[in-house]
Chain A
């Protein structure tokens, strides 16, 4: 178990991260071949592990559902006439983003080695991720374009410019929360905003800090959640209230997880007086909710 190692003394790993580390250290030798060749591969990331964790931790009482981000992404890719190969967690492993940033380099190397081998076997040309952290890791830390010649895209970039149409079931004011990995690290600010503008009936407003000056969700790489990181998150949520939004949309399941966690915590302790009367959602979930009316 990873938690007996010295570095775990300072980073309180959630259970699912401990399991990812355990998974990383199980070496798999057998080869794999997809049933048929695909141009696109879709990498869901560790959303299912997060889901089991929130089931155990009662955070699902506030209906957090990370797997629906992956399901929504697949649905939207199909809607855009893309037939992706699902690079699911039975065959692949976590991209290792958190382990790299937490300094667990040997774990990251093990994950990278496994995933690189699987990606070579998969024969895909383009990999698309709904998670901003996976996107950065594949593009920069794995350097897939340089090593395997695989183009790395965030799902918003894949869906951009494909003539998609959405219609919101009712009028809604939304704001886009820039994930640090997608925005400041990879410089992608426009693709998600363009997608939101495709939604008929949705008004997009900007939060006080946006784009390269966007505030963080506070818990980068699942490192540590404490009073200080919660303060950052609360400040971000307050900006949403100031902008009068109904929904805050993110481009990374981790942003969704942390903001949702904070909103739930506030609703569990209403007497503490912090309240934000809107919901956090992933952009993919929102777009799927706006698919119904159009078709």
Chain B
């Protein structure tokens, strides 16, 4: 055989093998594409978990259990079974999540949470001026949707033990219990915003700040004070139920919801204030 014959034969064989390889590869394609999609979904959930951890836990809780008075539970049967029916949302729950996370909420649909006319959920998508890209919003939705199979029934919010304390700070408060106040302060989601650091929550004393008890005793006597409190107790009550009356310089951009006058009883408020005053 001449070199030409050999090359033609070998070349033909190589072309044949290459074609067979391509056909064999093709048989595995549907499975490969399916697996790739599965990996993509898993990755979206992982990325979403990370984003949720960095952006959402402050108001919705580390496990999506919600923070009373601040933001509703997401890891909740009601959210998966009933929420979009109650709203009359015609598309899927996942799209509802994407829409809500993207554009936020101008007015809360559930007044027991943040709202009462104030913006509730901020917009997160960069299309609406938020910090996240569209794909990141979708990842968060994928993560939240992954709670669906296991979401517990958290029931309705527990009814309040008495009438709300209201926004009048001159009201006579009952005797407060500091221990009970501490439990309330750490369970009502206060630490979601009043961040818990290594040295304790934001109301504890730190290197450059007094404890909240001493702060309260000083603030209402300062010249720039704009509220109407005349005692430390009143100052603290005002800060909780009417936070807009006086804003400590430097905190103008982070607004505390003005709804606690409706969601706390007089006893609750008294307990929290008693606890706060013990922190010097």
- Say if A and B assemble together: no
